[in-house]
Structures are given as C-alpha cells and as structure tokens.
Structure 1
Amino acid sequence: MNVPALLPALLLVAALPSLALAAERPEGIAAAEAIARAALGADCDMNGMEDVPMAGPEAEGFGHALYRFAYKPGYDPNGPDIEAEIYQLFCGSGAYNIRNAFVLKTGDSDTPKLIAFATPHLAYEYANEENSRLAADPRIDGFRATALLVNASFDEKTRTITSHTAWRGIGDAWDSGEWVFRNGDFRLTRFEFDPTYGDPDPTVPKSYVVYEAGK
C-alpha cells in the first residue's frame, strides 16, 4: 500500500466539510459581520474565527443564521410587502453564555443596520449575605439599549427574538427578554429575571416579571 500517494486524496477529503461551510455562507453575511465588528469591537470578535460557519438548528449557537420573511409596512398597509433579512451573528462565547448580535436589512433600504434592543435597568437590594432573598420587590429605574444579547434565538413563526443570560454556570440566577418584530423594528415585550442565588426558597418568588407590554 502506497501511503504517501494516498495523502493528497485524504487531505482533500478532510478539507471538504470546511469548503462546504464556506460555500453555504450567504451573500450579505460578510457585510453584516463588518457592521457588528465595527460597532462592538472586542465584544464581537467571534472567538477569533475568520470564517464563522452558518449554523443549523442543532448547532447550539456556535455559528451565524439568516432568516427571511416579508411584512406589510405600517405607512402603506395596502401596498406591496417589504422583504426583510435578519442576520443572527455569533459574536463570541464564554464559559456558559454565547453573545449574539443581530443585523437587519429591509427591502426599502439598501443599508443594513445593527439592531439595538431596549432593556430595563433594574434596581434591587439583597436582604442577606447569601444573596438568596431580596429586601423588596425589584423596580425599573430606567431603560438602556444594547446591541448584544446572550443565548439568543429567533422564532420565525412569531418573529420574536428571545435571550436568556445565566449569571453563573449553574443558572440559578438569570435574566430573560423577548422582543417582537413590528413594522420594521423590534420592540421589547417582556423581561423577567431571577436575581437570587442558591437553593430555591419556597417563600421567595421563583422569578420577577418586571416588564410586560400592555401591563
């Protein structure tokens, strides 16, 4: 058996998966990456990867995704549909969280834009040193905008982006948000969090829904 003669063929076969991934990257993904990197810098370094693959539904977030749909604009509800593209970008990962950015391109504009998500700023105090109980119910003392979500996903049926941030590895403290696409942009519709650590206490709420649209 002539092993050296087989090496070129084996190397070619080994390279095929990466070539296929590169071929699957859609037009527009490079521009979306450039927008996110320029705006977010080291927060969207994509773990140093030069070519982030397009991820399937079972890829656990370590890749980009592209979603397409059409919608009726509020300013012309009887007019033609507007085509939209949403690029969900893998910006990086830590020990137990994945950072995502989203870039939106609509048919009525040639310029893709980085989506900024409204999130509440929460005021609360702990009642003990273990941080297992709050001294009082939390409250919102303002809102901020962020272009990075954590462990995010997009539901194509409801056109909703959700996030779920684990505050530490075991996930006992966390926050979660929902943003729904309406008339060309995403609006915060729900935000829930659990700031308490340790074993669940039956006398403490499991979580706090601090914002819900319409309430």
Structure 2
Amino acid sequence: MKFLLAALLCSTLPATTMAAERPAGIPAAEAVAKAAFGADCDMNGMPEVPMAEPDGEGYGHSVYSFSYKPDYDPNGPGVQVEVYQLFCGSGAYNIRHAFVLKKSDDESPKLAAFATPDLDYSYADEEMSKLKADPKVRGFRATGLLVNATFDLEKRTITSHAAWRGIGDAWDSGEWVFRNGDFILTRFEVDPTYGDPDPAAESYVVYDVAK
C-alpha cells in the first residue's frame, strides 16, 4: 500500500521534478550560460544548483521538453527541443534566469536571446512619479538574462517580471512565445513611475502583437 501511494503521488508531479537527479544535459547548458554571462551567471556561488521545486520561487534549474514542426520542413520529422531554464543568481528581490535550447537538429546547446524594447521617456517631476508623455519604442535590443521568469510548457511561453526596486511600484514585464525554433517577443509592459501608494500605479503596454 505504501508503495502504491508513493507511485500515485509521483505520477502527479511535473516531469521536471519527478526525478531527484539532475538531467544529463544540465552541465553543458550551464557551461553555455556561464561562458556568456560570467559573473552575471555565477549561480550564487553554488557548486551544484538543485532542480527547482514544484511551485518554488525560482532558486533552481528546470528542464522542459517538447517537439515542433519547423516551417522549412512542415511535413518532415518533428524537431525535439529541451529548454533549460537556469538559475543564474539573485539579488534582494529579483532572480536572474538564462535559457539554453538543445534541439535535435543541433549538435550543441545554444543560448536563447530575447528581444526587448528600448524605450524613450522622460519624467514630469523630480519624484519620477509621472511621465510627460507615453513611452515610445525607439528600437529593440537583445538580452540573454530574464528576471523572475517562468515558462508555460502548454503555451510554450516565457514571461518575466522585473521589479525596479523592492516595493515593486516600478517594473517591466515581457512575454516571448516559442515559434519555429526561437522565442519571439509578443508583449511588453512597463510602469516606469515611482510612488506607493500615491500616485496610483500606471502601466503602459508598449508592444503587443495582438493589437
């Protein structure tokens, strides 16, 4: 009976946390992230980062697997993908993550890059509580580190939410969907104004492919 109960409990856990062992691809993925970011991905000095717990706060690695049909060969075999979400480090209120992709049609894992808007805005007061006008996108840049990131395997979507300071009154948040081998920016929202609780928080959706 104890064995049956344990088996039933294990069957309900996500695939990323069923095994205590680190997946075989973790060391290679870590090497890619550490080579790219150096001290920004020192993993808080841990000699071995644990796998993330279910519903945890992100202080660990996670691995997700799925397959997709590339546009260049829609009738061919599916490409198998492993997404390594790596804990790179943490501060007082933010956690940094890197994402490494290992695809069955690639010989080695590769770092994922994420497009983010480069915003132009100016404040209307010294307290930086108001803007003179809505933020404007003046271009895009790429980053390999996301803050407080989560991955929805069903939607194949990564989201991030970076607090600009501890109380979280100013922040930015993005969404990237996996399409044809890469993560594509689909939405970005920002609240660059400070002040809690007055003035009331005001955010701006500066990029949204649905609009």
- Partner in structure 2 of residue 208 of structure 1: 204
TM-score (normalizing by structure 2):
0.88
Q: In the alignment, what sits opposite 2:43?
A: 46
Q: Answer with 139-148 or 50-59: which moved more.
A: 50-59
3-state SS of 1:102 partner: strand
* Cα displacement string for residues 55-79 of structure 1 (whole angstroms, at most 9, x for unaligned residues): 1222210000000001111111111
Q: Which runs of 5+ in 2 are unaligned?
A: 1-18
| Alpha-carbon distance in structure 2 between the residues aligned to 1:114 and 1:200 | 39
Give yes or no for the alignment of 1:124 onto 2:121. yes
Query: Is the 2:20–2:51 contact (alpha carbons within 8 Å) kept by the matching residues of 1?
Result: no
- The aligned amino acid for 2:35 is A
Q: CA deviation at 1:116?
A: 0.7
Measure how far apart 1:201 and its partner are: 5.5
Q: Rg bigger for which structure?
A: 1
Q: Is the 8 A contact 1:200 1:206 kept in 2?
A: no
Question: In the TM superposition, what is the alpha-carbon distance from 1:120 to its structure 2 partner?
Answer: 0.5
Aligned positions of 1:23-34 closer than 5 A: 24-34=21-31
- Relative distance call for 1:54 and 1:75 in structure 2 (3 A) is same
Q: Identity of paired residues, percent? A: 73
In structure 1, the residue matched to 2:141 is: 144
Name 1:178's counterpart in structure 2: 175
What SS does the aligned partner of 2:33 have? helix
**What's the CA shift string for 1:128-180, capped at 9, x where partnerless?**
11111101111011111000000000000100000000000010100000000
**Cα RMSD for the two superposed structures:** 1.7
Report the AA paired with residue 121 of structure 1.
Answer: D
Query: Following superposition of structure 1 onto structure 2, how do residues 189-208 of structure 1 map, counting pairs within 5 Å?
Result: 189-199=186-196, 206-208=202-204
Structure with greater helix share of residues: 1
Q: For structure 1, list consecutive stretches of 5 or more residues without a partner in the other structure.
A: 1-21
Aligned length: 194
User: Which shifted more, 72-81 or 153-162?
Assistant: 72-81
Q: Does 2:59 correspond to 1:62?
A: yes
Runs (4+) off by over 6 Å: none
| Shift, 1:110, TM fit | 1.4
After alignment, is 173-182 or 135-144 more displaced?
Answer: 135-144
Q: Which residue of 1 aligns with 2:102?
A: 105
C-alpha distance in 1, partners of 2:95/2:167? 15
Q: Distance in 2 between matches of 1:144 and 1:120?
A: 6
1:35 aligns with 2:32: yes
Partner Cα separation in structure 2 for residue 194 and residue 43 of structure 1 = 25
Pick the aligned partner of 2:72 from 69, 72, 75: 75
Structure 2 residue 154 is the aligned partner of structure 1 residue 157: yes
**Conservation of the 8 A alpha-carbon contact between 1:100 and 1:152:** yes
Q: Where does residue 15 of structure 1 map in the other structure?
A: none
TM-score of the superposed pair, with normalisation by structure 1: 0.86
Does the aligned pair in 2 maintain the 1:46–1:52 contact within 8 Å? Answer: yes
